[in-house]
Amino acid sequence: MIELDLLTTHADRAYPILAGLVTPRPIAWVTTLNEDGSVNAAPFSFFNVFGVDPPLVIFAPGDRDDGSPKDTARNCRRTGEFVINLVDEALAETMVRTSASLPYGESETTHENLATTPSSVIAPPRITATPAALECKVHSIQQIGENRLVLGIVHRVQVREEFFDPNSLRVRGEKFHPIGRMSVPNWYCKTSDLFEIVRPP
Ligand SMILES: Cc1cc2nc3c(=O)[nH]c(=O)nc-3n(C[C@H](O)[C@H](O)[C@H](O)COP(=O)(O)O)c2cc1C
């Protein structure tokens, strides 16, 4: 084994090492509202669901090099609301383009001509073409070093009919194929190659 110390010797390699090993990661394409009411969209792969009672999600925008928060973190703190749009292969390239840093207040959805649809219980809209969206309210924001962990409670789930069976209330896992993030900066994976392992009783 090769031993690495991410707190001292290899601190400057912590990002590519951790983000290359802890894979695949789900992607939260987060929509929030800027101060002027325009829509900010940006992807975050330091993201997951952490519990169901209450339904808890966390994503982590790192601060910019100058120590200022990214627009998404700023909007979450100001408005207390955000949408997590999940990303499939069809949306992958547009999602990546929205990671470009635009000046604050300049809308990625306008820039990319990306249609949005009003949410049900919060002000930021979802991306119309998303396969599924989680309407979230901010529970708290934890600042640990340059990481800002945004903890959110999911108030509504919106999922396209083709990916959900309304009778069994189950996600159609054979049809829903979000992409995963692999080694940074540019690698992704498909999630269509599934296998099943039945759990012991
Ligand atoms: C697939 C993908 C995942 C990303 N994940 C993160 C992340 O977890 N944390 C982060 O700080 N930046 C992440 N980024 C970079 C942000 O999307 C980028 O800094 C963006 O400009 C932030 O936008 P904002 O200032 O509008 O919030 C990711 C970029 C891509 C393409």
CA distance 48 to 29: 12
* Ligand 1 centroid from CA 157, angstroms: 23
Beta bridge partner(s), residue 85: 29, 133
Residue 113 within any structural domain of the chain: yes
In a domain, 159, yes or no: yes
Do the beta carbons of residue 54 and residue 110 sit within 8 Å? Answer: no
Pairing of strands 39-44, 28-33: antiparallel
171 within a domain of the structure (yes/no): yes
**In testing the pocket of ligand 1, which one of 31, 44, 78 has its CB within 8 Å of the most ligand atoms?**
44
Residue 45 lies in a domain: yes
- CA 90, distance to chain mean position in Å, is 16
Digit-by-digit pLDDT tens for the chain (201 residues) are 999 999 999 999 999 999 999 999 999 999 999 999 999 999 999 999 999 999 999 999 999 999 999 999 999 999 999 999 999 999 999 999 999 988 887 888 888 899 999 999 999 999 999 999 999 999 999 999 999 999 999 999 999 999 999 999 999 999 999 999 999 999 999 999 999 999 999
CA distance 123 to 33: 8
Taking CA 50 as the corner, what is the angle to CA 81 and CA 26, rounded to the nearest 5 degrees? 80
Task: Out of 39, 45, 74, give the residue to mutate to test ligand 1, the one with the largest number of ligand atoms within 8 Å of its CB.
Answer: 45
Structural domain that includes position 162: 26-189
Rounded distance, CA 182 to CA 66, Å?
27
Question: How many distinct structural domains can be found in the chain?
Answer: 1
